[in-house]
A = this chain, B = another copy of it.
Amino acid sequence: MTEHFADRLMDAVRRKGSRLCVGLDPRVDLLPPDLPGSASDPAKRVESFCLNLCLGTEPYAVAVKPQAAYFEALGAEGMVCLERVMCFARELGLLVILDAKRNDIGSTAQAYADAYLGARPEVCGPCLQVADAITINAYLGYDGVEPFVNKAHEHGTGLFILVKTSNPGSGQLQDLRLESGLTVYQHMADLVAQWGQDLVGASGYSSVGAVVGATYPEQLKELRARLPQTPFLVPGYGHQGASAADVAAGFDKQGLGAIVNSARGIIYAYRKREGTFTQAAAEAAQEARDELNAAAQ
């Protein structure tokens, strides 16, 4: 295993022939009826749900992206569950991108970086510090980003900084035009490139990545050209409305440089398909993988 996040990511994409990241957004009210366990222990049910999703979708995905909010909503037991899910996914060979969008002043950002990055589960046993990468919000500027960049240097982890997000209101701040002529998201994109320039690996990509929503395909295309060394984590595909054609612009000429997240379309596939929830998720993941591979051609 190389100690460089972006190289590991691009290797995994090539080796597995997949650009799919499965979003683990376990909502208690949407858990499948065939899931074992008691309703009085939601964290245990969520754990079982997520472990089965990892098992079922692993052949078709390069990464999973647990969404911290849904685990935090279960209280402290949810964090135990998150720990187990992240460690299990790593054992299966999946990369783990923790979607936490953390941000703070330098000393506190250091605590967040220490909370989720840098440990090796094979050495320390299950803990929260096993994410391969984490999502970051850089509204506070570089001092809140630096501890994550340092982790990337020291531990081979990665970070994905919010540039242009997939939600309807993302333009309210991100699309504003600056005096310089750039939009806020373009300015943020340039900062991301600058912050990541010392972390470009053999793959040609930096361990400092960007979150760019597939729901804004024009901006995705523009940012792909603007950030040739920045790997993209692309949300918005599937349930949020973006098609495989929309995400196509996120890939480089080799079909690399981006992984595409799908959460609800895969993890709740049981609602529209036959079989167990795991089978349904596996089928949906396989289809998504194939669709994304075709789009990346």
Write the residues of chain A forming the contact surface with B, with a CB cutoff of 8 angstroms: 25, 27, 67, 69-70, 72-73, 75-77, 79-80, 83, 99, 101-109, 111-112, 114-116, 127-128, 137-144, 162, 165-174, 176-180, 184, 187-188, 191, 235, 240
Contacts and interface: CB of A to CB of B under 8 A. Distances in A.
A90 to B, nearest CB: 16
A151 to B, nearest CB: 13
A141 B171 contact: yes
A240 to B, nearest CB: 8
Contacts of A83: 75-76
A88 to B, nearest CB: 15
B111 A173 contact: no
A170 B140 contact: yes
A184 B108 CA distance: 23
Nearest to A27: B111
Contacts of A67: 104, 108, 111
A76 B178 contact: no
A191 to B, nearest CB: 7
B187 A167 contact: no
Given A137-B139, A139-B174, 10 more contacts: A25-B107, A69-B111, A76-B80, A99-B104, A105-B167, A138-B173, A139-B162, A141-B172, A142-B172, A144-B169
**Which 9 A-B residue pairings sit nearest by Cβ, starting from the closest?**
A141-B169, A141-B172, A69-B111, A76-B79, A105-B167, A143-B169, A73-B115, A72-B115, A76-B80
A174 B178 CA distance: 11
A168 B176 CA distance: 24
Nearest to A108: B69
A64 to B, nearest CB: 16
B140 A102 contact: no
Most buried by B among A107, A142, A187: A107
Contacts of A180: 176
A45 to B, nearest CB: 16
A23 to B, nearest CB: 10
A98 to B, nearest CB: 11
Contact of A167 (B75, B140, B169, B240): B140
Contacts of A171: 141
A69 B167 contact: no
Contacts of A114: 73
